[in-house]
Structure 1
Amino acid sequence: MIELDEIDRALLRALERDAAQSASALGRNLGLSQPATWRRIKRLEAGGVIAGRRLRLNAEALGFGVTVFLGIKLATRGRVSLDDFERAVSAIPEVQTVEHVLGLFDYRLRVVARDLPDFERVLRRRIMTLPGAGEVEANVLLSEERLPGPL
């Protein structure tokens, strides 16, 4: 595990707020030069602390008005490999996240669709036909009160 000092932590907080900031702007706010800031960012990336940077899109603005969380229990445990299921479900563009979980279900998926009929099409034609897909529970997202924030 990489050792973090207060400047590293401040840098991570600043990047969590806005990952598009330049090293120069970050350095000015932290009292560092651009090269020193860049070296710290590269060290944090190489150490695995920064796993990547992503752009968060507004699904609704792009025409995806429905988000559904699915719990999926595999029907034939042991007969279908988890890797095969994960590979197949990850290939479905409407599936935003695939989480292997412990509990009532084996997997938790976040699925986006244009509307409920579109979600039904994705569920029937794509998800329910996956190798090993068994019991499914759907929860439609009504609102999102808090987005993922700083660790």
Structure 2
Amino acid sequence: MIILDDVDRRILRHFQAEPALATADLAERAGVTAATCWRRLDRMRSEGVILAEEAVIDWSALGYTLEVSLRFTIDKDQPRAFDEFIAAAREVPEVLEIQTFLGLVDVRLSVIARDLRHYQEVYRERILTLPHIADVEALMHIARIKTDEVLPL
């Protein structure tokens, strides 16, 4: 476990809020010098605290109006069934997220589509052809109430 002090947490709080800030501006908001801020960010990146800085794209603005959560139970009769399913699911462009679980559900895929007709095409041609499916359940997404990856620092 990596130990963060108050300065690290202050920098991360402001960094999470506005990751595109210049280091000098971030340093000013965190109440440290630019050099200190740069060194702390560099250390947190090298220690794996900060994994990436990425663009977040609103896929609905690009015409994808549907999101469906698909929950799968995998037929695990073959030793590599799970890995083969995951590898094939990664190749489906409409799959935004893949999660694995312990319990009744093995895998959850978050799938987007432009409309119901497109979803039906993706489901029949790309999803149902994934290997080793024992059972699948679809949950139509209605609303995103909270989506946040900001930690309470």
Query: Do both share a fold (TM > 0.5)?
Result: yes
Please give the alpha-carbon distance, in whole angstroms, between the structure 1 residues aligned to 2:75 and 2:83: 15
Tell me the TM-score normalized by structure 2. 0.91
RMSD: 1.4
Q: Does 1:127 align with 2:115?
A: no
Please give the alpha-carbon distance, in whole angstroms, between the structure 2 residues aligned to 1:77 and 1:142: 35
Further displaced range: 30-39 or 112-121: 30-39
Please give the alpha-carbon distance, in whole angstroms, between the structure 1 residues aligned to 2:116 and 2:77: 30
Q: What residue in structure 2 maps to residue 42 of structure 1?
A: 42
SS at match of 1:60: helix
Q: What residue in structure 2 maps to residue 145 of structure 1?
A: 145
Identity in percent: 34
Q: Is the 8 A contact 2:96 2:109 kept in 1?
A: yes
Tell me the TM-score normalized by structure 1. 0.92
Pairing of 1:104-123 with structure 2 (within 5 A): 104-123=104-123
Q: Is the 8 A contact 2:75 2:81 kept in 1?
A: no
Stretches of structure 2 lacking an aligned partner (at least 5 in a row): none
Deviation at 1:83, TM superposition (A): 2.1
Q: Would you say how many aligned residue pairs link Structure 1 and Structure 2?
A: 151
Pairing of 1:22-101 with structure 2 (within 5 A): 22-101=22-101
Stretches of structure 1 lacking an aligned partner (at least 5 in a row): none
Please give the alpha-carbon distance, in whole angstroms, between the structure 1 residues aligned to 2:77 and 2:15: 41
Q: What residue in structure 1 maps to residue 136 of structure 2?
A: 136
